Amino acid sequence: MTSEPAIEARGLTKSYGEVSVLRGVDLSVARGSVFALLGPNGAGKTTTVRILATLTAPDAGRARVAGFDVVAERHQVRRAISLTGQYAAVDENQTGEENLRMMGRLTRLGRAEARRRAQELLERFDLAGAGRRTVGTYSGGMRRRLDLAAGLVGRPEVIFLDEPTTGLDPRSRQAMWEVVKGLVGDGVTVFPTTQYLEEADQLADRIAVVDGGRVVAEGTSAQLKERVAGQRLELVLGGPDAFEETARRLGARLVRSDADRLTLGVATDGSAAQIRALLDELDPGRRAVDRFTVRGATLDDVFLALTGHATTHDKETSGV
């Protein structure tokens, strides 16, 4: 197996009119890994995927996928990848089996091989019992699994999953995560985009945090959490005045703020000495803090520390 990255991008930029969507994105994704692009709506995740999947040309920069240039060698790239969008793109009037057999024929499999591949994928994605039902009768989770199965008919090297669990209930999301983990075991490179922190935490070998069209941090989940310390001191304040005064005292150290719940978070190493010192500093009169909890740092803390807002923050440019 070559040591060349499955995906490599340098300086990708893209604008739509006066709106700058990507502002110099750099990425390097190892083969046979899960690399998650984490960010809020409008951060540039979908545009990045569209460029890497050859659906959109960058204004500047270069990218290679599966060893091929996404502009000069886009036909070779398309033969090596699969793209699953935010919503299932399967024919509701056909059965699950018919959808997969049709995809097999479109990827130039013979009739017998297309039939065998369809049965293999229906079993793998726990859809064998529903294979002869029309897709219009499927649940949302079943449709997403069928959509992903359709993308695997041609045995791609790289799979792009744009918001793979959008609209799914927790049980269906968990099922999709298990499917994705299984793909990596076969040596496939999986590139999901997500705004769900738990999803990136569960799935990804490495995570790139993107905001405002730029990669603001990259690393493993543990490495990113270390950037805001290993623990978080979560304070519940006694009232709005105490909340505002404590937030002012924390200043740039603030990693979490929830005015509705009167809750503030600050990074800490978790030691008793530091926690005592913080409480004495922030609440010298011992009247402002109602109660406190020490928690492990989360990816949400990382994102808040890096960008000043949560991943679920909606922007005017949402969907790009």
- Residue 229 has a pLDDT of 59
* Measured distance CA(32)–CA(17) in Å, rounded: 37
Contact 12/51 with Cβ under 8 angstroms? Answer: yes
CATH 3.30.70 is held by the domain 229-296: yes
Q: Tell me the chain's radius of gyration from C-alpha atoms.
A: 23
Residue 14, H or E segment: strand 7-16
Q: What are the residue ranges spanned by the domains of the chain?
A: 7-218, 229-296
pLDDT level of residue 228 (50, 70, 90 thresholds): low
pTM: 0.75
According to CATH, the superfamily of the domain at 7-218 is P-loop containing nucleotide triphosphate hydrolases (3.40.50.300)
Q: What is the DSSP letter of 16?
A: E
Is the pLDDT assigned to residue 305 strictly greater than 80?
no
Q: From its phi and psi, is residue 223 left (phi > 0), alpha (psi between -120 and 50) or beta?
A: alpha
Mean pLDDT, rounded, for 266-279: 89
Q: Which residues does 246 contact at the CB level (< 8 Å), separation at least 6?
A: 235, 237, 264, 282, 283, 288, 289
**Tens digits of residue pLDDT in 200-219:** 888 899 999 999 999 998 99
* Measured distance CA(147)–CA(112) in Å, rounded: 21
Amino acid at 263: T
Work out the mean pLDDT of the chain and round it to a whole number: 88
- Residue 85 has a pLDDT of 75
- Residue 318 has a pLDDT of 41
Is the pLDDT assigned to residue 35 strictly greater than 80?
yes
Mean pLDDT, rounded, for 53-78: 97
Task: Name the phi and psi angles at 43, rounded to 5.
Answer: -80, -20
